[in-house]
Amino acid sequence: MSETFPKCNSCSKGELVPLSDFGGQGAAIHYKAWVCTSPECGFNLKIRNGEVHINEPILEGHLREQRREKYNN
């Protein structure tokens, strides 16, 4: 089974793929974000607390952990 995803209108090279996450209580949140598959593009659309955020900086996982530790200490 092959899925097709929408073309990214920002770069016209990549496709927008959906990402899911888990909420604070552990429940799955499907399609929380859409991200362009082209690394050069970086277009992203995210939903956080009912608000839509466009083109937020994309951080690698290990950088996010370092930032979290900095603000929790």
Residue 43's nearest CA partner among 4, 70, 17 is 17
| 34, 44 contact by CB (below 8 A) | yes
| CA 59/CA 38 separation, integer angstroms | 15
| 14, 36 contact by CB (below 8 A) | yes
The gap from C-alpha 47 to its chain's centroid, in whole angstroms, comes to: 9
pLDDT tens for each residue of the chain, 73 residues long:
568 999 999 999 999 999 998 888 889 988 899 999 999 998 999 988 889 999 988 777 766 555 555 555 5
pTM of the model: 0.69
Q: H/E element holding 16?
A: strand 16-22
Q: What local confidence, expressed as pLDDT, does residue 57 receive? A: 84
Q: What local confidence, expressed as pLDDT, does residue 24 receive? A: 83
